[in-house]
């Protein structure tokens, strides 16, 4: 699936840079050069290696609230690599950070970790942003993905404005990948990330959160895991969207199609990716064996009896038990997609059906698509699984709870329309509604997601999910459509959203 990549902020820039490098390393050319990076701090571009200079856009350099230089005593701190937190919100998570306090914004380059400033910068520099976005050839891509660290002001603020702008001008889907801060980082970052998720869910066609907390492996300091986390993100995004983008060299049982990915993600909401690999035991190896196979003097026994349906079933089971980009209850997913990559001789239709049946059984959904990616010279089989619209996500609950404890979201007794809420969900303290989506604190910080005109049913854990049986899962928001699906020609519902960050606790400073 051809995909344009747009990195926003420090974390977004580094991740997109790694994705472009992975594209070249794997030979899966899925961006066709359609990449951009936006930042409010110039130094974030110093470490890029794969994003061309002309694709790096500095914004806010004349904005009065943007700092391009850091204080001398903050040099060591500002150079720390913090993925999931932009350069403008970069410092070690000290005890004072965990209490919610932050350094002065003048000590950090960029917007000082303030998403409101980030949004204002993006609005002010919107003409420059639009000129840069014009360099993306929408006719060459099937979708666009905005990548950002949701704990920082640039990632959350600028990123959301860019997503909204892309939705206004692009007919193809707009996805978002947002990195969530670890639990050892400050309450302010948790607040910014909670607000970022709250804004992105209604704006983007699907959101891929990546949880730093899960990927730091418990007691391991998160700053020591950033390179590994970026590699894991790149491997999974390339494995999903880059599948099938190699030049075809062999027949396929069921080649993955971009329409399968789009159909899986059209339910919207939060998405998570799992991936596992198994090495194939071969009966022959070495130069002479390969030469004999090429000459037709020996049978290709690679895979053999070892890669039967049972092997594929074990591989898919490993994916279900492995680390996901966003840890979640997979039984809460609406749709799933399975991609098997490996030698054609090792991937059979029976293996597909076995893997698909297992996913249906484990997730409880019958909407499971599957496809393969033939890799003739591979010595492994890889299973990549996409879970779309997962609604039971403990990590999001934790972020919301931290924001609630900090006084960021104070529930009121009435809904946004002024009527008393009879369903037990409470409004967010009179905050101005961001589009058609409200995330409220119920039962200690559970996120409730309401997508426009869909019928909503509360789940057992208090998280609301769309009623798939009542309406078309692809229709969210208004009935009128500005988009059409290039694969089917059918209209795709457009959604009108006003972007605004608000602090829902009256009289409180979000930075405390």
CA–CA dist 206, 1 (Å, integer): 15
CA–CA dist 121, 47 (Å, integer): 23
Q: Would the annotation count 416 as a binding residue?
A: no
Element housing 23 (H / E): helix 9-26
Bridge-based pairing state of the strands 456-458 and 380-390: unpaired
Q: Would the annotation count 34 as a binding residue?
A: no
Quick one: tokens of 231?
A: 């590699």
Q: Classify 121 as helix, strand or coil.
A: helix
**246: nearest Cα among 372, 147, 145, 137:** 372
CA–CA dist 142, 316 (Å, integer): 27
* Total length of the chain: 512
Q: Count CB atoms within 10 A of the CB of residue 340.
A: 26
Bridge-based pairing state of the strands 35-39 and 56-58: parallel
Would you call 126 exposed, middle or buried from its count of C-beta atoms within 10 A (0-12, 13-18, 19+)?
A: middle
C-alpha torsion sign, points 87, 18, 205, 445: negative
Q: Would the annotation count 39 as a binding residue?
A: no
Are the C-beta atoms of residues 58 and 44 closer than 8 Å to each other?
no
Are the C-beta atoms of residues 371 and 472 closer than 8 Å to each other?
no
Would you call 293 exposed, middle or buried from its count of C-beta atoms within 10 A (0-12, 13-18, 19+)?
A: middle
**Helix and strand numbers, DSSP H then E, in the chain:** 15, 14
Q: Would the annotation count 155 as a binding residue?
A: yes
CA–CA dist 454, 92 (Å, integer): 42
Bridge-based pairing state of the strands 335-342 and 206-211: unpaired
Which residues belong to the annotated binding site for GTP? 153-155, 185, 212, 230
Which residues belong to the annotated binding site? 153-155, 185, 212, 230
């Amino acid at each position: 699936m051809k995909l344009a990549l747009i990195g926003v902020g420090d974390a977004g820039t580094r991740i997109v840079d790694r994705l472009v490098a992975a594209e070249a390393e794997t030979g899966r050319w899925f961006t066709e050069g359609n990449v951009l990076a936006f930042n409010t701090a110039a130094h974030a571009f110093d470490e890029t290696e794969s994003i061309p200079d002309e694709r790096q856009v500095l914004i806010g350099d004349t904005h009065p609230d943007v700092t391009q230089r850091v204080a001398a005593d903050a040099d060591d701190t500002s150079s720390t690599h913090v993925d999931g937190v932009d350069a403008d919100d970069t410092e070690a998570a000290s005890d004072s950070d965990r209490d919610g306090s932050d350094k002065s914004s003048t000590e950090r380059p960029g917007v000082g970790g303030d998403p409101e400033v980030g949004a204002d910068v993006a609005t002010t520099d919107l003409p420059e942003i639009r000129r840069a976005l014009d360099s993306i050839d929408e006719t060459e891509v099937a979708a666009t993905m905005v990548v950002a660290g949701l704990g920082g002001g640039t990632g959350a603020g600028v990123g959301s404005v860019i997503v909204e702008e892309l939705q206004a001008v692009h007919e193809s889907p707009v996805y978002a990948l947002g990195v969530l801060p670890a639990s050892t980082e400050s309450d302010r970052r948790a607040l910014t990330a909670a607000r970022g998720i709250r804004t992105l869910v209604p704006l983007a066609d699907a959101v891929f959160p990546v949880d730093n907390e899960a990927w730091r492996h418990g007691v391991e300091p998160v700053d020591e895991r950033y390179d590994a986390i970026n590699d894991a993100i790149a491997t999974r995004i390339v494995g999903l969207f880059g599948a099938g983008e190699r030049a075809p060299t062999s027949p396929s049982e069921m080649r993955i199609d971009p329409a399968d990915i789009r159909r899986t993600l059209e339910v919207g909401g939060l998405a998570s990716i799992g991936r596992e690999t198994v090495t194939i035991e071969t009966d022959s190896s070495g130069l002479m064996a390969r030469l004999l196979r090429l000459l037709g003097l020996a049978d290709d026994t690679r895979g053999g009896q070892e890669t039967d349906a049972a092997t594929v079933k074990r591989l898919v089971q490993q994916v279900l038990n492995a680390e996901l980009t966003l840890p979640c209850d997979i039984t809460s997913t609406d749709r799933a997609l399975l991609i098997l990559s490996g030698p054609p001789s090792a991937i059979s239709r029976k293996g597909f059906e076995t893997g698909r049946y297992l996913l249906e059984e484990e997730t409880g959904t019958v909407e499971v698509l599957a496809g393969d990616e033939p890799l003739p010279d591979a010595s492994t089989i890889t299973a990549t699984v996409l879970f779309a619209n997962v609604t039971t996500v403990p990590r999001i609950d934790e972020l919301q709870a931290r924001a609630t404890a900090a006084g960021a979201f104070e529930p009121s007794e009435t809904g946004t329309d002024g009527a008393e809420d009879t369903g037990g969900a409470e409004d967010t303290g009179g905050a101005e509604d961001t589009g058609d989506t409200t995330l409220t604190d119920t039962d200690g910080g559970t996120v409730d997601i309401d997508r426009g005109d869909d019928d909503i049913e509360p789940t057992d854990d208090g998280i609301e999910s769309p009623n798939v049986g009542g309406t078309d899962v692809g229709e969210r928001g208004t009935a009128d459509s500005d988009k059409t699906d290039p694969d089917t020609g059918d209209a795709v519902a457009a959604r009108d959203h006003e972007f605004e960050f608000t602090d829902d606790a009256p009289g409180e400073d979000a930075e405390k």
